[in-house]
Chain A
Amino acid sequence: EPEVTQTPSHQVTQMGQEVILRCVPISNHLYFYWYRQILGQKVEFLVSFYNNEISEKSEIFDDQFSVERPDGSNFTLKIRSTKLEDSAMYFCASSSSFGPNYGYTFGSGTRLTVV
């Protein structure tokens, strides 16, 4: 079964540093997403990406965050000037279509710890 791959699985960074989280979506999927989950809490939408541009973003996704699809396979989330409260599990997801009636395939996540 096709998988969404995320690297690294764990990332520890010092407050104020920049991190880049990487994702390889399923190859024939067209829509890509980043979600985050603070420990013990619900999954929160950050951003959706289609056709090399952001299609939707949440209030969480401010200027500290950016996404990029640098080549035909990778999809990255950059977090600048990390803060303690950025510590969370970050999930990448992809889907073959956008809109209602389609579920997501999630990656295994990157656990980000800001110290």
Chain B
Amino acid sequence: GENVEQHPSTLSVQEGDSAVIKCTYSDSASNYFPWYKQELGKRPQLIIDIRSNVGEKKDQRIAVTLNKTAKHFSLHITETQPEDSAVYFCAPQGGSYIPTFGRGTSLIVHP
């Protein structure tokens, strides 16, 4: 199956700083790369995704970049705000069409 690693496991930043979370995967057949945000005690919510024919996608303060050759994709959050504090999961989908979730990155944004 797919091996998915997320780094870092915990990220602490000051409000206004940028945050970057990296996800590496093993299945070269993966071609859909979403990021989910899970606030404490709530459901995971899809916040941004990218497909394998695109290298970067932006949506306001968040962006995702993909390097298929190196098999990793990253979540970028600019101008972080306290409400960005959550656990972020990557979940690449490969040949089986079932996403494999990473272990999550806990982002803490200090006011």
Contact = CB atoms under 8 A, between A and B. Distances in A.
Contacts of B93: 100-101
Interface of B: 30-32, 34, 36, 42-46, 49, 51, 89, 91, 93-94, 96-104
Contacts of A109: 43
B8 to A, nearest CB: 15
A101 B51 contact: yes
Grouping DSSP codes into helix (H, G, I), strand (E, B) and loop, the B interface class, with mixed when no group exceeds half, is loop
Given A100-B31, A101-B31, A103-B34, A45 B99 contact: yes
Given A44-B101, A45-B98, A106 B45 contact: yes
B97 A99 contact: yes
A91 B34 CA distance: 17
Interface residues of A, number: 20
A60 interface: no
Interface of A: 41-45, 48, 56, 91, 98-109
Given A100-B32, A101-B51, A106-B43, A42 B101 contact: yes
